[in-house]
Amino acid sequence: MSNVRLYLSTNEAGAGRALELLSDIFEDEGHPVATMEVDEAADIWEASLYLEAEDDGSIAARMAECLADAFPGVAIQTEILPDIDWISRSLEGLKPVRAGRFLVHGSHDRAAVRPHDLAIEVDAAQAFGTGHHGTTAGCLEMIERVMLSRPEGPRGFDPVLDLGTGSGVLAIAAAMLGPVRVLATDIDPIATRIARQNIRLNGVAARVEAVTARGFHSTAIAGWAPFRLIIANILARPLMQMAPEIAACAAPGGSVILSGILAAQRWKVLAAFNGQGLSHVETIWRNGWVTIHLRK
Ligand SMILES: C[S@@+](CC[C@H](N)C(=O)[O-])C[C@H]1O[C@@H](n2cnc3c(N)ncnc32)[C@H](O)[C@@H]1O
């Protein structure tokens, strides 16, 4: 079975708009949607929809229809991706990423770690979160700012929930900052398995537990709540849908860090969370994405 990428070529603003339109329709059907920069100087971007099997033309046609108003005459292109481990292969050459005190690096880059770094080792695998995406880097920076903001230090944020943990990178980061317990969840069992491996590899397994769960449908979440810090790097729409549950599981005075939100979606997300009694504290912008800190 081949993986297939259906995509359109546009500019940065167009890619953001296409991401919004495509996410609304295709994400609930389980097709990941993403944007990537192709040529910075020429402002060429691609917005892509990923399929696990070859398309008989029907999904490309629906994609064209969904984009037709915003992109008249849009041409949907197709790329057949290599079957195996294509994420690992495409990320193999990536360099370590710094975000605040954190350095996220692959096993081949251990030499890049400096004495005062909080080094997180994450090899590219079939789970999101090597630190290279603006949302992950924004979350890492925000986690450090938030967890070091109280007089009692990071322990004031125990326990932490990392919803949509992917590779586990954010859960590991929170546990590295101080003596907190972290519950890491993901809807995707492959991500949960990879997160567990990374949690062990980074020496925080005694305080970080990873479970598979869709949103808040989990006895583990119910058992651990309320959380003094909830981190969720998912996407604007599911975050807004989960706003009532996120607010209900946050402890009074607790912090919520949200990402996976395009800059243009910021106000809608803030309105959804304000409506649940959470107030905006700070926003970090990275590569067109925002990471938002709210307090209950
Ligand atoms: C953008 S990735 C973030 C990964 C990592 N936390 C990071 O910041 O790099 C989003 C993750 O959320 C998971 N996810 C999406 N919807 C979810 C849901 N409703 N409940 C739990 N996890 C979800 C996806 O499987 C994916 O691993």
Q: Cα separation of 205 and 175, whole Å? A: 9
Amino acid 54: pLDDT: 76
**ipTM > 0.95 for the complex:** yes
**Nearest to residue 173, comparing CAs of 148, 191, 190, 152?**
148
Instruction: Ligand 1, residue 234: give the atom nearest the CA.
Output: 10
The structural domain count of the chain equals: 2
Q: Is 166 in the pocket of ligand 1 (CB under 6 A)?
A: yes
CATH code: domain of residue 252: 3.40.50.150
| Average pLDDT across the chain, whole number | 89
Identify whether 39 is part of a domain: yes
* Whether 79 and 140 share a structural domain: no
Please say if the pLDDT value at position 105 is more than 60. Answer: yes
Identify whether 28 is part of a domain: yes
Mean per-residue pLDDT for 101-116?
90
Q: Is 87 in the pocket of ligand 1 (CB under 6 A)?
A: no
Please say if the pLDDT value at position 93 is more than 70. Answer: no
Q: Which of 1-5, 21-25, 118-122 has the highest mean pLDDT?
A: 118-122
Report the relative pairing of strands 33-39 and 182-186 from DSSP bridges.
unpaired
**Nearest to residue 277, comparing CAs of 261, 264, 296, 259?**
296
Report the relative pairing of strands 227-233 and 160-163 from DSSP bridges.
parallel
Please say if the pLDDT value at position 53 is more than 80. Answer: no
Amino acid 153: pLDDT: 92
Ligand 1 pocket mutation pick from 186, 190, 221, 249 by most atoms within 8 angstroms of CB: 186
Lowest mean pLDDT among 50-59, 84-93, 101-110, 221-230: 84-93
Domain that holds residue 149: 133-295
Amino acid 28: pLDDT: 76
Mean per-residue pLDDT for 166-175?
96
* Whether 152 and 270 share a structural domain: yes
* Whether 191 and 264 share a structural domain: yes
Q: Cα separation of 187 and 193, whole Å? A: 11
Q: Which residue has the higher pLDDT, 84 or 174?
A: 174
* Whether 155 and 266 share a structural domain: yes
Mean per-residue pLDDT for 13-36?
84
Among residues of the chain, what percentage have pLDDT more than 70?
93
Q: Cα separation of 163 and 166, whole Å? A: 9
Identify whether 113 is part of a domain: no
Amino acid 1: pLDDT: 44
Please say if the pLDDT value at position 91 is more than 60. Answer: no
Measured in angstroms, how far is the CA atom of residue 193 from the centroid of ligand 1? 13
pLDDT band of residue 84 (cuts 50, 70, 90) is very low
